[in-house]
Every structure is written in structure tokens, then in C-alpha cells.
């Protein structure tokens, strides 16, 4: 499959699902093509996505960290190697800021687009799958 075909399909997906892409992120789709398939396969594809849904994982990690840090669990191992307790406090603050930033983007998108409808909320990736599987 040529790079041109991949770019055309990605443009089609973006145009068909334009309401799901925010305008404040220009050039929000990137693609790359490797002409050498994995051993034993004719072709392979990988998809990477960036979504505000990642904030749930960050929240979970932050909650677990906070619970352990309050008890000072394992802290002596790190301070014994030269780290300062303030570095952990700063890391916790950075994680909370990151979660807040993702939440802001999620809220802004929800306000602009109205309520999210699960039936309409999926991107139509069928053209990509068809072209990759052919």
C-alpha cells in the first residue's frame, strides 16, 4: 500500500468524521508507512490515538501514589539514593495538573459538540480496514 493511499484514506476518515476532531489541533492525523511487513505476514497496521480518556489511567495512578505517599511507603529507598521528598510532592502536583488539563479539553469538546451519542460516537474506520485487508 502506498503512502498516498494511506494519506487519502486518513483524509477521508477525518472528513467523514470531522465533528469528532477539534479545530484547535491542526494536522491532528499523522501516518507513516513501512514497506517491510512483519515476518510471516503480507501486511500489518498499527493505530496510535490520543484521547482524553487517558486521564482515567492517570487518575488511578495518582490515587495509588497518594495513598502510598501518605504512608511514606517505600520512600526511604528513594531518599536513601539521594532523592528529596519534595520531588515526590512536585511529581504528584504535575500529575494532578495533567489530569486537570485533560479534563479541560474533554469539557471544552463536550460543550462544543453537545451530548455525546454512543451510536454516533465511533469513527468510521471501515475504509481503512477494507484497504488494509485487501
| Confidence at residue 110, expressed as pLDDT on a 0 to 100 scale | 65
pTM above 0.75, yes or no: no
User: How many helical (H) and strand (E) elements, i.e. helices and strands, does the chain have?
Assistant: 5, 0
| Confidence at residue 127, expressed as pLDDT on a 0 to 100 scale | 46
Domain boundaries, the chain: 3-133
CATH 1.10.287.600 matches 3-133: yes
In contact, 128 and 9? CB cutoff 8 Å: yes
Per-chain mean pLDDT for the chain: 82
Higher pLDDT, 104 or 23: 104
* φ, ψ at 5 (rounded to 5°): -65, -40
* Contact residues for 65 (Cβ-Cβ < 8 A; gap 6+): 91, 92, 95
| Confidence at residue 20, expressed as pLDDT on a 0 to 100 scale | 75
- Please report which confidence band the pLDDT of residue 113 belongs to, taking 50, 70 and 90 as the band edges: low
pLDDT average, residue stretch 53-80:
95
Amino acid at each position: 500500500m502506498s503512502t498516498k493511499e494511506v494519506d487519502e484514506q486518513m483524509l477521508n476518515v477525518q472528513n467523514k468524521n470531522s465533528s469528532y476532531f477539534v479545530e484547535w489541533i491542526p494536522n491532528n492525523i499523522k501516518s507513516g508507512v513501512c514497506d517491510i511487513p512483519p515476518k510471516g505476514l503480507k501486511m500489518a497496521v498499527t493505530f496510535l490515538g490520543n484521547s482524553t480518556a487517558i486521564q482515567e489511567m492517570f487518575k488511578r495512578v495518582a490515587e495509588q501514589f497518594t495513598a502510598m505517599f501518605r504512608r511514606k511507603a517505600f520512600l526511604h529507598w528513594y531518599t536513601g539514593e539521594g532523592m528529596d521528598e519534595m520531588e515526590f510532592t512536585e511529581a504528584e502536583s504535575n500529575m494532578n495538573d495533567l489530569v486537570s488539563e485533560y479534563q479541560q479539553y474533554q469539557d471544552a469538546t463536550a460543550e462544543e459538540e453537545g451530548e455525546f451519542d454512543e451510536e454516533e460516537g465511533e469513527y468510521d474506520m471501515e475504509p481503512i480496514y477494507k484497504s488494509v485487508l485487501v
